[in-house]
Amino acid sequence: MTRRFAYACYRCDSELPVGHPIDSRGCPRCLDEAPSNLRLVYRGDIAEEGKLTKKEQPPSLWRYANRLPFREDAAVSLGEGLTPLRPAARLGAEIGVPALFIKNEGHNPTWSHKDRFSTVAITAAQQAGASTVATSSTGNAGASLAAYAARAGLSCVVATAAGSAGPMLTQIEKYGAQVIPFENKSDRWAFLAEGVERFGWFATSPYRHPVVGSHPIGIEGYKTLAFEIVEQMGGAVPDWCALPVCYGDALAGLWLGFKELLRDGEIARMPRLLAAEVHGSLALALDQGIDRVPDVTARFNTLAVSIGATRSTFQALKALRETRGIAVPVSNDGLIALQEKTAGMEGIFLELSSVVPIAAILAARQQGVIGSHEAVVAVVTASGLKDVDKSNPAAISRSFSTVDAALEVIGA
């Protein structure tokens, strides 16, 4: 049920056996100089694993099981992946990118891209004989992990920060997970570390400083974003792919997916990647040419809470460097207006963090980095219902006493 693999460092390529404990520290050789996450290295030819025929393919990302750590018959699945890729011509014209496409991850079972991670991570936990999975999350990761844990019959613990988006916390609790909010955000990691050490929890998120990224096995699920984009574009490759970035798990997985396709001759070139971030740690690391991603000062309280970390990771930096990519910091200015414009023009209601890549595309176009002729895919990661309490904190309360009064307001 499990393919043969080992772990390797993104930075120094040192290999570690599959039995190496994933303790959230990443590569032991790079820890002091420039902390780096691990990636999977598969043993044997992928072709030997056998590709599924169209008739055999499950209606989920597990249609790509030959490129994932587990076979499809072992998968804990809720039908994730295969999300739509739609041309967004009206919005594209508005921001100067006529060939704009939106890959809408809000169509996943828990309405975010995290389901691509969770289906693989929970499968790994089940295969490892774990009884409890745990994560540190302000929303999407916790909701997703809770749902897949419920599907697998595993207990789930979500350590979160006080003040996280209410709809997502409700979602997590409805799946039966234990939600543990902390006033001091850093206490979440000490809590997870104790759970791993004392109770054998299978932790999927980072829980030690400095962050290197999430569990390498789960990140493999994000490779399927690349597989789907190429398939949905009829074998073509966009010039750019942009997505919101915190610790860069999805960015790294997307990059790994495109690398596999390039290696196997299924595409002729790599797209350039755009990391839409908040506080600018990746932009600074790229500018300074350093490997140790700096911890920058937060200049404001971002509306894009799920990507609000002040330091990203080497795995994200590596993906950008190898694709001639860029990082674009995005402020709160105009974010809600752009959320409303995307919904009003394309019928796609996005979580505020998912609006950030569209804002970054607009900024890169205005700076001349993205050309007007280039095809750009915005990977938007979650539904706007996830943080509606932040994007529209005051519900519309007015009402009308007559039909004529209402018609007058809309100009009818």
Classify residue 117: in a domain, yes or no: no
Q: What does the pLDDT read at residue 166? A: 76
> In this predicted model, what pLDDT tens digit does every residue of 344-402 receive, in sequence order?
999 999 999 999 999 999 999 999 999 999 999 999 999 999 888 766 655 444 566 77
> In this predicted model, what pLDDT tens digit does every residue of 284-310 receive, in sequence order?
999 999 999 999 999 999 999 899 999
Task: Give the structural domain span for 332.
Answer: 85-111+218-391
Classify residue 121: in a domain, yes or no: no
Classify residue 374: in a domain, yes or no: yes
Classify residue 56: in a domain, yes or no: no
Classify residue 341: in a domain, yes or no: yes
CA 374 – CA 367 distance, rounded (Å): 14
Quickly list DSSP for 321-364. HHTT-EEEE--STTHHHHHHHHHHHHS--B-HHHHHHHHHHHHH
Provide the 8-state DSSP code for 79: S
Q: What does the pLDDT read at residue 167? A: 82
What does residue 51 show for φ and ψ, rounded to 5 degrees? -95, 145
CATH of the domain at 234: 3.40.50.1100
Rg (CA), the chain: 21
Name the stretches of the chain with pLDDT < 50: 47-48, 395-397
Classify residue 373: in a domain, yes or no: yes
Classify residue 138: in a domain, yes or no: no
Q: Is the dihedral of CA 384, 276, 302, 315 positive or negative?
A: positive
Q: How many domains does the chain have?
A: 1
Taking CA atoms, 321 is separated from 180, 289, 324, 325, 329, in Å, by 37, 10, 5, 6, 17
Its pTM surpasses 0.85: yes
Classify residue 5: in a domain, yes or no: no
44-52 LR contacts (CB < 8 Å, sep 24+): 44/3, 44/4, 46/264, 49/3
Q: What does the pLDDT read at residue 396? A: 47
The torsion angle over the Cα atoms of residues 133, 136, 139 and 140, rounded to 10 degrees, is: -60
